[in-house]
Amino acid sequence: MNIELKTINNRLLTDPQGFVQDTDTAYQNRLNEIADDIAAHRAERPIILLSGPSGSGKTTTAQMIEKILDLRGIETHTLSLDNYFRTLTDEDKILFAQGKLDLESPNRVDSEFLSEQLTAIEEGKPVELPTYDFKESARVMSGNILHRKKGELVILEGIHSLNPDVIRIPDDKTAKIYVSVRTRITDNGEILHPSKIRLMRRMVRDRLFRKRSLNDTLMMFRSVEEGENKYIMPYKYRSTYDVDTFMAYEICAYKNCLLDDLKDMSHEPELMDAGAFLADAAAMPNGALSADSLIREFVGSKDCC
């Protein structure tokens, strides 16, 4: 799907809050459709696997689906695949310091332990959930017990959630969701690839919440993209449901935060088109961005970044 930047600007300048509301509602309606089908098959498919590339909005989408199902009286629990990463060995830490550890590899996940827990959860047995200490690069047990009761659902979100080498429970026990930015923005014959929207999202989030420079995010983006092509894209065909997480107004919310810096980084080939599209985009006015917008995952509580 394509959308003209001129159309985005016209909607934003004419009725910013209405534009945001219409966009959010269309996205919410898609999640409601998925929740309807998940609810109808919850007895045979109690485990929901949600995957997508970095910056696709996996966390927020999982939380929104959980909320929809909870409001319908279907208790739903969301787990992060990140908490099932293996603890790094001393050798791993040396490779990491040398930039030689493949951080995107599915081998980072302790698939045997994960499968044991998912099987127990599906069978209604209590399990103590793990958490991952990223500062120490170690998995630890949280003390939190999950005991799924009959009729309850569990969402597992993470980049490798559709990889059958990672998730080893039977397919017929799971529903599968693939989320990503799919829509392309066009402007005077030029096209902004969806991956550049995801890059903008990561730049904003990394700067605001991870104290990471835009240059550092760009360097990571290159290896992340390689990992996506190797480890994520090959399995998106396995999804039961596909979700386009593109928010038509989002480029306007990133303009003030990123434009000046992207001008200074215009020599980077990945950023030339992103900077040009940001320059032509209208800026999101204060107060227009909804409190529950998907892009709050990246911009936080501010009206625009």
Which pLDDT does position 162 carry in this prediction? 97
Give the pLDDT confidence of 199-232 residue by residue, as tens digits.
999 999 998 888 888 888 888 888 888 889 999 9
Which pLDDT does position 301 carry in this prediction? 82
Which pLDDT does position 202 carry in this prediction? 93
Query: Which of 42, 40, 29 has its CA nearest to residue 68?
Result: 29
Give the pLDDT confidence of 53-105 residue by residue, as tens digits.
999 999 999 999 999 999 999 999 999 999 999 999 989 888 878 878 888 89
Q: What percent of the chain has pLDDT over 90?
A: 77
Which pLDDT does position 271 carry in this prediction? 87
- Scanning the chain, the segments in alpha helix (DSSP H) are 5-14, 16-40, 58-71, 90-97, 111-122, 194-209, 214-231, 250-264, 272-280, 296-299
Task: Identify residue 301 by its one-letter amino acid code.
Answer: S
Neighbours of 253 (CB within 10 A): 28
Average pLDDT over the chain reads 93
Which pLDDT does position 216 carry in this prediction? 87
**Confidence class of residue 304 from pLDDT cuts 50, 70 and 90?**
low
Give the pLDDT confidence of 123-167 residue by residue, as tens digits.
999 999 999 998 888 999 999 999 999 999 999 999 999 999 999
**Confidence class of residue 305 from pLDDT cuts 50, 70 and 90?**
low
**What 3 state SS string does 123-154 have?**
CCCCEEEEEEECCCCEEEEEEEEECCCCCCEE
pTM: 0.93
Which pLDDT does position 55 carry in this prediction? 93
What average pLDDT does this structure show over 8-18? Answer: 96
Which pLDDT does position 210 carry in this prediction? 82
